[in-house]
Structure 1
């Protein structure tokens, strides 16, 4: 655009009235009068000076292109040429200005070309409005949208948006997850096409809730279907979002198929591990009972039998802890709640740890008054909690240390404190002391062992009872204190405790015909010997087919069966008993190393009356045989 040196400035009367001048000068936006051919600024107002950072005199020495950002000059010249050529009288443009200090501002420019009666350009009147903040906001919004779109596009999780059973958007992860050829193939399906029939009604209700609420749906575990029909497990959350001006539902799903498969493999491994460990423990425990029976009063033999029994019990507890934590972690541990006197719990835990206490010569004091603290809890589990805390105090305290146990009442709860003067806990370890597999530092001088499960199990069981547990220590060598806080029963809810009769372990008052079936010959021979010593008539077999034939000839009253038998397994053998009219009334006891809930359910379904875990103590088995009556169709 060429400058015209012949241009002559207009006289004041040609610039309009005084009112126009006032409006021009006092406007809240920048105003400029521009010579159309040269682009020189002829008149500017104070607002334009503020916007550009130049004084009025400085601006009047410049052209409008001098103020324009270099990247926007070409567009500005093209628009000016179009206006001068008669293409338009009024124009609008958004462009950047460079201020005197070098900073850049955005402006929305509106201009009008004034012509004379012959149509010749006289001057341009331009209004310049600062839109920098709006532009920055738009840019930030674009950047934010680009970032989030990038996150969604790169996410390994399935993310899609739908409305009224129609897919509106799907990220690339959907193609991989559903096994589609393209995103378009995913978008042709209805959302519920991807949901397993078992979950469709529940998902339909979740969609309805998400569509009518601003709050996201809670996390849900669901079965989904890939396009080839394969089933995938997912964790899903959904929420209502605006999409193209209308409400829609966004779904985010995390694939947990492999995680659940790993859980199943872990459960199977733990079940097998428990079974393989318990199987050899059974004859070892029974062997200890036989040694005790034949000790003839020998203190040395009694000591050996007690030593074997203690170590078997210790290993059994380790196996139980491992399986218990697995069940708790998956929400599969149920509690049998009853009224409990805390003092009884504490003393049962003391007796479990009595041998270890005596062996290290610890001084134990217990301040838990009888009938002062009543809870509603699961007795074996609460004993497990206190026993684990005792076990830790015993193991991590040097010989002849002090262990103090006390209970106090606070705000309707009981605080049970187990305090020792032992090894203590490092400050950095305290926040993690209840985490799974966390243990204090091991040394050759202090090799107490353990799996690092006990305290994690304590926390989990206490939480199931509505309580809390905390650990305190001033540091290594300064002892530690564990505080269990549990809700107390209100006085009106306390009844008279039931007293269980003490079991008798002398010769049986009701000798039974007992069939033992186990492929571990050591197990059945040792257990059979003990039962015969109690007066029972015993027959044994090592596989299912042999056992069935023997049972028909022997007509047992009780059959104690292992589940993992060769040939005909324990479940199938139980079903054969129930189908046989001659054997249908036999009381069936599963004595096995498999102790998960699924194993108990299978044994009940097969017809077993009881499901017991190896290694079983004679003290536990003898009362069962004493109280046994013919089945007569009953199921437990």
Structure 2
């Protein structure tokens, strides 16, 4: 009687401790193409692929350490000279002394299964690379203002109305499905705390209960103090991908289990073909007792469409008496039909009589499902490219050839050399694009997208994309896969916006300059009036009021010039304890004239006169005056304005209500947007620039407070509530206070030349210098200044820059030759941007003051100068 392995339709051998083959079953001999007598005595490594010998030796080595069973995936040489993948199950046997003697190996052919898996993995990598390069929706979170700016694609994903460009961060988070909000917040908090790029998936609650999966990729940005400022990123719909992954996940787990073990159902049959299942695997698979499956009962568990075909194939095998492989669908205990392969081998006795059949049935469903998944994913990728107009480019690094797949109604694939492809790129962009591509090929990871222009029959087109490097299993670079989209229309819009922004900046700079010129003599005149200590108290109050209003207007002009600085919250506060009641009454005093001129009634209720906050007095006044000004502006004559203060332990609320025109529901959410205004009518003629409430909101937030605007509707009035953190008695001493000015030291009288074509500005500035016991001379032009300078020999020259004949830069060069130290040059100009200061410095100016000049700072500078006269 032969060993059962003699009839097993699988590769079986036994080798001695030194690796010499002692036994091989007929199946192995037929596979190797070597008769059994010639096979015995040869070493097993002669039939194993050279790259797979090491894993086998490693498995044998571990077995000798005490483990008697090991598996290894190897390639075995077939009789036709090809190698096929097998799972090699090794079992060591001990000799009579307990030492490991020979080793038995059983090899199961997994070549087709492994090939299908490799195809599946390759397709998966390519699909992931393509979708990683496609940016479906971009966003930016401003963590200080809690505002989200987004692209149109992202707005559509979140079901925001068309045209939505910015919303509050809470509106975005509220659209996360309720059961996903807690893990969403937890993952986001952890990602932002770690400070690096992050990625996670979540479910979005859409309209009418429609849900979709989104994948979020983001990168946080911190300011120089380490405080989270912004978060940038992209989100795109992965609903279809998640559904596919969920379906394939189950198949992949089953497939792995199948690879790790043989998973075969073993059976035998008599010469008449009646099957006898063996082992408990059959009952575990079908959920039925082996007795029910015995004989011909197993046919009842084959899919009805495959049953007759399988039956006839089995009868044919019985008639021919040769080994057969049958493929069919078989019922499993969970109600699912699985694709299986049954291998049957006849067993003959010594006389050549058929004795029985021996076989195995293996579940091969993953092989078929993997192929279906590959085809389905390929189809989805094609549809996605057509829908998003994505172009996928692939550069084979071995040959530097580029393949371009163009999405559209008819997919076009084009292959050309890298240099030929680069020649289609605009000459100004090709060097940058070439560096980007070669840095990826070198294994680097360049940040962001790449942009370039191409020239074709449509003219010049702007393209944007990103790319990834695909490596082999050994880590060697194989190819670069990238995706590009046409952004020509967006680029044209960016250029238009950039030009509009440039014109806006030029207008604001000129406007600020023109506003500063009349402010300069006003500020100087007020400083001179303040020096008159004999004036009565009423006059001093009026002068103080004028000073406050000029300072207030100066700050507004500065803010108007720096709109970008305002929108980014970069205004520096000068904090000190402030009595809320005092701030309220000063603000009411500032707009009292406007209220009186409109015959309006204003009521103030400050119940607690000892309520304090910590803030910038000027900015807090700016907040209240701006809100009160709006209340008066939009309240009709005989209308009423009320100002009240309420406080609790944590905060102070300043409530300003009016009986004015109110705010419509569609405008109410936009009142804090920059340059936003309601519709102007004949009875609303006092419109402004539309920056008031936007600036107020940012100033309130800089004071760690909040502002809300409520209105029942048009004609029903408006209520504005400013809420600020309360400063208690024990905290006031720790707040930042203004330092007292040090008493002036004795100083020498200076000879000062004042040059300005604005006579009021020049004369008032000279008078101010003379009030400090300096000698001042005035020149209204550069020519007059050059005539007066040799006679006066000034210690200091105060020069306007925008002079009509010779500008202040050239005048400075003529007044002080290279190497001289006198006169000291001070620029007095309406231009105060960074480039203006740099230009003044290069022209030789020692100091730079912006109109209207801060009188106290100028006088302090003059008093500190000690100049040695020649």
Instruction: Calculate the TM-score normalised by the size of structure 1.
Output: 0.59
Q: What SS does the aligned partner of 2:654 have? A: strand
Return the offset for 1:345.
3.2
Q: Secondary structure of 2:669's partner?
A: helix
1:562-573 matches, within 5 Å, as 562-565=800-803, 569-571=807-809, 573=811
Distance in 2 between residues matched to 1:489 and 1:548, nearest whole Å = 57
1:28 aligns with 2:265: no
Selected match of 1:398 from 636, 642, 645: 636
| CA distance 1:133–1:323, shift in 2 (3 Å) | farther
2:754 pairs, out of 492, 495, 516, with 516
Q: 1:601 to 1:446 in 2, by over 3 A?
A: same
Provide the C-alpha distance between the structure 2 equivalents of 1:579 and 1:517, rounded to a whole number of angstroms.
18
Q: What is the CA distance between 1:268 and its match in structure 2?
A: 4.1
Q: Find 2:832's aligned residue among 589, 595, 600.
A: 595
Q: CA deviation at 1:452?
A: 0.7
Tell me if the contact between 1:558 and 1:586 (Cα under 8 Å) persists in the aligned partners. yes
1:485 aligns with 723
Aligned to 2:592: 354
SS at match of 1:275: helix
Give the counterpart of 1:112 among 325, 331, 343. Answer: 343
Partner of 1:432: 670
Change (3 A) 1:226 1:408: same
From 243, 255, 277, the counterpart of 1:19: 277
Q: Does 1:179 align with 2:413?
A: no
What is residue 866 of structure 2 aligned with on the other side? 632
1:188 aligns with 2:438: yes
Unaligned runs of 5+ in 2: 1-268, 289-295, 407-420, 454-463, 529-545, 742-747
1:445 to 675, 683, 692: 683
Per the alignment, do residues 461 and 314 of structure 1 end up closer, same or farther by CA in structure 2, a change over 3 Å counting? closer
Counterpart of 1:35 in structure 2 is none
- The whole-number CA distance in structure 2 between the counterparts of 1:130 and 1:352 is 84
Structure 1's 183 and 355: CA in aligned 2 closer, same or farther, altered over 3 A?
closer
Contact kept, 8 Å, 1:29 with 1:127, in 2: the verdict is no
The answer on whether the counterparts of 2:651 and 2:726 sit within 8 Å (CA) in structure 1 is yes
Corresponding residue for residue 233 of structure 1: none
Q: Deviations over 1:567-613 (max 9, x none)?
A: 6543565576676898736573x433223355456657854546232
Contact between 2:521 and 2:761, CA under 8 Å: does it hold in 1? yes
The DSSP-based 3-state class of the residue aligned with 2:680 is coil
Do the aligned partners of 2:752 and 2:794 also contact (CA within 8 Å) in 1? yes
Greater shift, 570-579 or 353-362, is seen at 570-579
Secondary structure of the 2:684 match is coil
1:375 Cα offset (Å): 3.4
1:526 shift after superposition? 8.0
SS at match of 1:451: coil
Q: Give secondary structure in 1 for the equivalent of 2:627.
A: helix
Tell me which residue corresponds to 1:416.
654
Are 1:383 and 2:621 an aligned pair? yes
Task: State the alpha-carbon separation in 2 of the partners of residues 365 and 393 from structure 1.
Answer: 13
Q: What's the C-alpha RMSD, in Å, of the aligned pairs?
A: 6.4
Distance 1:176 1:458 in 2: 47
Determine helix, strand or coil for the equivalent of 1:398: coil
Superposed displacement of residue 316, structure 1:
6.7
* Superposition pairs of residues 130-209 of structure 1, within 5 angstroms: 130-131=365-366, 154=390, 179-180=429-430, 186-189=436-439
Question: In structure 2, what is the Cα distance between the partners aligned to 1:17 and 1:92?
Answer: 15
Q: Distance in 2 between matches of 1:454 and 1:476?
A: 20
- Say if 1:135 and 1:115 are closer, same or farther in 2 by CA, change over 3 A: same
The CA deviation at 1:370 is 8.2
Distance 2:481 2:704 in 1: 36
Q: Distance in 2 between the 1:63 and 1:491 partners?
A: 95
Does the 8 Å contact 1:426/1:476 carry over to 2? yes
Partner Cα separation in structure 2 for residue 516 and residue 153 of structure 1: 66
Query: Higher relative contact order by CA 8 Å / sep ≥ 6: 1 or 2?
Result: 1
* Residue 433 of structure 1, CA deviation: 0.7
Distance, in Å, in 1 between the alignment partners of 2:863 and 2:698 is 38
CA distance in 2, matches of 1:568, 1:159: 62
SS, match of residue 587 in structure 2:
helix
Secondary structure of 2:788 counterpart? helix
- Change beyond 3 A, Cα 1:463–1:571: farther
Q: Are the counterparts in 2 of residues 603 and 611 from structure 1 also a CA contact under 8 Å?
A: no
Q: Return the alpha-carbon distance in structure 2 between the equivalents of residues 18 and 159 of structure 1.
A: 55
Deviation per residue, 1:15-46 (Å, 9 max, x gap): 1453369987985399xxxxxxxxxxx98644
Alpha-carbon shift at residue 351 of structure 1 (Å): 3.5
Residues 559 and 450 of structure 1, relative CA distance in 2, 3 Å threshold: same
Cα 1:512–1:405, aligned 2, differ >3 Å: closer, same or farther? farther
SS in 2 for 1:385: helix
User: Which residue number in structure 2 is paired with residue 547 of structure 1?
Assistant: 785
Counterparts in 2 of 1:370 and 1:610: CA distance versus 1, 3 Å: farther
SS of 2:277's partner is helix
Structure 1 position 462, deviation (Å): 1.9
Do the aligned residues in 2 keep the contact of 1:25 with 1:45 (CA within 8 Å)?
no
Alignment CA distance shift 1:580-1:337 (3 Å) = farther
Task: Note closer, same or farther for the CA distance 1:319–1:251 as it changes in structure 2 (3 Å cut).
Answer: farther
Instruction: Give yes or no for contact 1:356–1:394 (8 Å, CA) kept in 2.
Output: yes
What is the aligned partner in structure 2 of residue 70 from structure 1? Answer: none
Q: How many angstroms apart in 2 are the aligned matches of 1:383 and 1:478?
A: 27
> How much does 1:429 deviate?
1.5
Determine the structure 2 residue equivalent to 1:48: 302
In 1: Cα distance, 2:556 partner to 2:804 partner: 28
Matches of 1:525 and 1:159, distance apart in 2: 74
How many residue pairs match? The answer is 513
Is the Cα–Cα contact under 8 Å of residues 90 and 113 in structure 1 kept in the other structure?
yes
2:707 to 447, 461, 469: 469
3-state SS, counterpart of residue 604 of structure 2: strand
For 1:365-384, list aligned pairs within 5 A.
365-368=603-606, 372-384=610-622
Q: Secondary structure at the match of 1:189?
A: helix
Is 1:363 the counterpart of 2:597 in the alignment? no
SS at match of 1:435: coil
- Give the aligned partner of residue 198 of structure 1: none
Distance 1:237-1:543 versus aligned 2 partners, 3 A rule: farther
> Distance between the aligned counterparts of 1:91 and 1:192, measured in 2?
50
Structure 1 residues 575 and 489, CA gap change in structure 2 (3 angstroms): farther
User: 1:45-84, aligned counterparts within 5 Å?
Assistant: 45-49=299-303, 54=304, 60=307, 62-63=308-309
1:457 aligns with 2:695: yes
CA contact (8 A) 2:325 2:342 kept: yes
Q: Is the 8 A contact 2:829 2:851 kept in 1?
A: yes
In structure 2, relative to structure 1, the CA distance for the partners of 1:140 and 1:446 (3 Å cut) is same
User: Any conservation in 1 of the 2:753–2:778 contact (CA below 8 Å)?
Assistant: yes
Distance 1:452 1:343 in 2: 28
Counterpart selection for 1:333 from 562, 571, 576: 571
Task: Report the 3-state secondary structure (helix = DSSP H, G, I; strand = E; otherwise coil) of the residue aligned with 1:393.
Answer: helix
Distance 1:413 1:26, change over 3 A: closer
Deviations 1:229-270 (CA, angstroms, capped at 9, x unpaired) = xxxxxxx99999997678999999999996888766654442
Spell out, residue by residue over 1:266-325, the C-alpha distance to the aligned partner (whole angstroms, 9 max, x if none).
5444223322454467689999999xxxxxxxxxxxxxxxxx999999987764442243
CA contact (8 A) 2:799 2:825 kept: no
CA contact (8 A) 1:586 1:630 kept: no
CA shift for structure 1 position 360? 1.3
Distance in 2 separating the partners of 1:463 and 1:239: 41
TM-score of the pair, normalised by structure 2: 0.45
Contact 1:111 1:127 in 2 (8 A): yes
Rounded Cα–Cα distance in structure 2 between residues aligned with 1:177 and 1:463: 48
1:15 alignment partner, SS class: coil
The 1:252/1:537 distance shift into structure 2, 3 A limit, reads farther
Unaligned residue ranges in structure 1 (runs of 5+) = 1-10, 31-41, 67-76, 100-104, 163-167, 194-203, 211-216, 228-235, 291-307, 502-509
Q: CA deviation at 1:487?
A: 2.7
The aligned runs of 1:252-331 (5 Å cut-off) are: 266-279=504-517, 319-330=557-568
